[in-house]
Amino acid sequence: MSVNRRQMFNRYLYIFPLLYILVCVRLFSQGVSGDELTPDKIYEKVDNSIVVILAYDNNGNVFQGSGVVIDDNGLIATNHHVCKDASRIEVKHYSKEIRDVEVYRYDEVKDILILKVPGTMFKPIEYGSSTNLKAGQRVYAVGSPEGYENSISEGIISGFRTDENNVKLIQMTCPITDGSSGGAVLNSKGELIGLSVSGQHEGSLYFAVPVNDIYALLGIETNIAEFTDPVKYYEIGTLANENKNYKDAEVYFSKYLEKFSSDASAYYNRGYARFKLKEYSKAISDFSTVLETSGAGSESFFYRGNCYYSLKDYKNAKLDYTKALEQEPDNSDIYYNRGYANFKLKAYAEAVNDWQRAVELNPEYTSELEVKIKIAQEELLNKK
């Protein structure tokens, strides 16, 4: 089943214009919400987003580094020098070993390498920004020093330097030893702000590549943190969703919500972007926030139901589709999706009723659902 078959988003993109304006006026003077995490929560948040990189050369030597999972499509960022002489690269994460690894993109001068592995077996890390970092800011490094997988260290930003190639680096006090290169450097929210790159242990000098350089290599906008008017984030996030640039949309709406933390429309739009990115748990959280803070809910129930369905939580999916139908009783798409949830729950009679109603409301479903209805009816007979 293709959940979200009918692209309902275009219908609901501007469903909260009045709420949006009122919230902007009411909240513009509020400060950034505090989302700082304790070190243990940061580690828990990123543990499944940091991997070990193993690079083998033609002489049988193996070089070990760290890597950061940056999206749902199998992209992993590390340092170029880790794999510079590699004839074969592997990715390891605890008991998982992946040998089908290819080089996707790289910048040798900035020491960035993007690898690609099949599928979506890892959790992508949450993006931050390196634009407004400050000396003295607390940071955390997670990598695999000396092969000790996913070790966390804590420190502060010491300053900002430029190397002999005119590449800007973050100087920090988080220790980096062999094997840590390419690991994550995080802010206190557990967001990626850089990649560990090098260290001088005797002088306790450690450096990181700014995350914005990764954005630039991947073609992701990096000016999101430079707007003086935070409402601009909302406008660009909306355009990003319309243009199907869902990762950008997620970043822009997240920046907007740092200032306007009670805007239901921004949570809805970010939830939609996360749904399209298959970040279903995060999307559920956003749609739940909308439902808690806003009276308008059918579209949020619908998409939250789609997220539950994608996670194979068919019971909660059905509940949300039912709530959506209470507000939109003639919506064929919701009947269509609830029919599939009922079928998965072996509620065959209810599935038949939903699909028949979907066909009544939208004859375009006829050819597909006639087959499904027949299967459900046969299952119902077998059940008796």
CB burial of residue 221 (10 Å; 0-12, 13-18, 19+):
middle
Task: Of 213-217, 335-339, 343-347, give the lowest mean pLDDT range.
Answer: 213-217
Q: What is the pLDDT of residue 154?
A: 94
- Which candidate, 234, 139, 232, places its Cα nearest to that of 194? 139
Selection from 6-20, 157-171, 242-256 with the highest mean pLDDT? 157-171
Residue 246 has pLDDT above 80, yes or no: yes
Mean pLDDT of 108-128: 88
Task: Of 19-28, 165-174, 250-259, 278-287, give the lowest mean pLDDT range.
Answer: 19-28
Q: What is the pLDDT of residue 137?
A: 95
Task: Of 92-96, 224-228, 243-247, give the lowest mean pLDDT range.
Answer: 224-228
Cβ–Cβ under 8 Å, residues 130 and 170: yes
Q: What is the pLDDT of residue 87?
A: 92
- In the chain, what percentage of residues exceed pLDDT 90? 59
Q: What is the pLDDT of residue 295?
A: 62
**pLDDT band of 368, cuts 50, 70, 90:** very high
Cα–Cα distances in angstroms (integers) from residue 27 to residues 65, 262, 266, in the given order: 44, 8, 13
Task: Of 4-8, 70-74, 94-98, 117-121, give the lowest mean pLDDT range.
Answer: 4-8
Task: Of 34-38, 173-177, 324-328, 358-362, give the lowest mean pLDDT range.
Answer: 34-38
Residue 5 has pLDDT above 50, yes or no: no
CB burial of residue 188 (10 Å; 0-12, 13-18, 19+):
middle
Residue 309 has pLDDT above 50, yes or no: yes
Going along the chain from its start, the domains and CATH numbers come out as 9-32+223-383 (1.25.40.10), 45-116 (2.40.10.10), 138-218 (2.40.10.10)
The pair of three-digit structure tokens given for residue 53, joined into one six-digit string: 């990189």
Mean pLDDT in the chain? 85
Q: What is the pLDDT of residue 340?
A: 96
Phi–psi pair at 180, nearest 5 degrees: -85, -20
**pLDDT band of 384, cuts 50, 70, 90:** low
Phi–psi pair at 265, nearest 5 degrees: -65, -35
Render pLDDT for 62-78 as a digit per residue (tens, 0 to 9). Answer: 999 999 998 888 899 99
Q: What is the pLDDT of residue 349?
A: 94
